[in-house]
Amino acid sequence: MAGLYLHIPFCKKACHYCDFHFSTSLKHKTSFLTALEQEIVLRADEFKNIIVETIYFGGGTPSILEVDEIKSIIAIIRSHYDVIVLPEITLEANPDDLSDEKIKELATTEINRLSIGVQSFGDKELQMMNRAHSAQEVKQSLKTATQYFDNITIDLMYGIPGLSVEEWKQNIKEALSFGVDHISSYALTVEEGTALHHFIKEGKYPALDENLAASHFDVLVAELQQAGFDHYEISNFGKPDFYSKHNTSYWLGKFYLGFGPSAHSYRGSVRSWNVANNVKYIKALSENRLPSTQEILSIKDRYNEYIMTGLRTIWGVSFAKVEQDFGVETLAVLKNQILPFLKQGTLEIEKNQLKTTQKGKFLADGIASELFWV
């Protein structure tokens, strides 16, 4: 089984914290869609005899697309790939795009999972992040969306300076009041080159507080676990049967193809990525060329990725898999490296699987980096 990812590189506004590839101009939208469909067709041989079970519209802001455009893309995928009858098809959407009418139209498509970029239920935080929607639009979009879609996930951001623990707890309670079954939550981070990075550097915005983010994280875990959510990946919480199948396939090392500018693909020991430039992407595909770069992953690369993704999930790192894929000596080194973390109580061994403890979850990426094959 495998997945397909489609990067839709357009947004109404540039969020201050975002470093993903996107454009706020729709000038090349029609040409982009033509190029995207061409890439889907040209790369079909890469997934010959591989069954597709998930399709994910990401970005950017995929909800900027018209419903007929979404239907056309799905139809082309179905005509060139072996897709199961009822795949998980996710559309990332912003609340300002989700009018009652748009939601009703989306419900007529094969989209069966909405990922709504809420980020916050507070106007102060939304304005700080330069989001295109208001808190009222968030509530209205969720009120309508939950009537038409059974599978909805929302994004929430924590670690925002000035957001008290009580205000953050209220954000979580507000989210739960809509009956959603999946929440993805990420700490606000400062990426070089973003507006947020510039504002902090110029003293126009307070620096991030890691202790505040850690407090927010602890509250998030406690509130969602009490509400019946499984904390199945560091940033993802889902009720049983509502885990993201697409994202889980990434963490479990399944194959995926990424279409669109800046999109990545993975097939075992091979990773490729498309040029992060809309004009270059469109031009290449108009000439029947794939605008991508490819690398062969070394055994070291594959090991480090397995350690990183494994420690972020409830499935952990399998000692048996490490021995089988990377050798007895590598497993022996790993077992020696983890001793301090076992003593600290940030890692634990459960049924021959290495996992982060509750204490270690917020530190998972840092712990993984200490265990890398350098």
Task: With cut-offs at 50, 70 and 90, classify the pLDDT of residue 248.
Answer: very high
Per the rule left: phi > 0, alpha: psi between -120 and 50, beta: everything else, 173 is: alpha
**Claim to verify: residue 97 and residue 162 sit in the same structural domain:** yes
* Helix (H) / strand (E) containing 356: strand 353-356
> Which position has the higher pLDDT, 327 or 22?
327
Please check whether residue 287 lies inside any domain of the structure. Answer: no
Q: pTM for the complete prediction?
A: 0.95
> Which position has the higher pLDDT, 247 or 12?
247
Query: The CATH number of the domain where 11 resides is what?
Result: 3.20.20.70
Give percent above pLDDT 90 in the chain: 88
Give percent above pLDDT 70 in the chain: 100
Per-residue pLDDT, 198:
86
**Claim to verify: residue 26 and residue 96 sit in the same structural domain:** yes
Please check whether residue 274 lies inside any domain of the structure. Answer: no
Please check whether residue 279 lies inside any domain of the structure. Answer: no
Alpha helices in the chain (DSSP H): 29-42, 67-80, 100-106, 123-129, 135-148, 165-176, 195-201, 210-226, 245-251, 278-286, 299-312, 319-326, 328-337, 339-344, 358-361, 364-370
**Claim to verify: residue 59 and residue 189 sit in the same structural domain:** yes
Per-residue pLDDT, 161:
92
Q: What is the rounded average pLDDT of the residues 242-248?
A: 97
**Claim to verify: residue 140 and residue 80 sit in the same structural domain:** yes
Report pLDDT digits (tens) over 113-140: 999 999 999 999 999 888 898 999 999 9
Task: With cut-offs at 50, 70 and 90, classify the pLDDT of residue 13.
Answer: confident
Report pLDDT digits (tens) over 189-219: 988 888 888 888 888 888 899 999 999 999 9
**Claim to verify: residue 99 and residue 34 sit in the same structural domain:** yes
The total of structural domains in the chain comes to 2
Please check whether residue 167 lies inside any domain of the structure. Answer: yes
Query: 216, 251, 286 — which closes off a domain?
Result: 251
pLDDT at 150 over 80: yes
Per the rule left: phi > 0, alpha: psi between -120 and 50, beta: everything else, 278 is: alpha
Please check whether residue 46 lies inside any domain of the structure. Answer: yes
Please check whether residue 65 lies inside any domain of the structure. Answer: yes
Contact 210, 217 (CB under 8 A): no
Q: Say which range, 105-109, 143-147, 249-253, 317-321, has the weakest mean pLDDT.
A: 249-253
Non-local CB neighbours of 275 within 8 Å, separated by 6+ positions: 261, 262, 281, 284, 291, 292, 293
Query: 251, 286, 312 — which closes off a domain?
Result: 251
Task: With cut-offs at 50, 70 and 90, classify the pLDDT of residue 374.
Answer: confident
**Claim to verify: residue 235 and residue 354 sit in the same structural domain:** no
**Claim to verify: residue 89 and residue 149 sit in the same structural domain:** yes
Task: With cut-offs at 50, 70 and 90, classify the pLDDT of residue 355.
Answer: very high
pLDDT at 273 over 90: yes
**Claim to verify: residue 143 and residue 82 sit in the same structural domain:** yes
pLDDT at 1 over 80: no
**Claim to verify: residue 238 and residue 106 sit in the same structural domain:** yes
Query: The CATH number of the domain where 303 resides is what?
Result: 1.10.10.920
Classified as helix, coil or strand, 310 is: helix
Query: 251, 283, 315 — which closes off a domain?
Result: 251
Domain membership of residue 63 as a residue range? 2-251
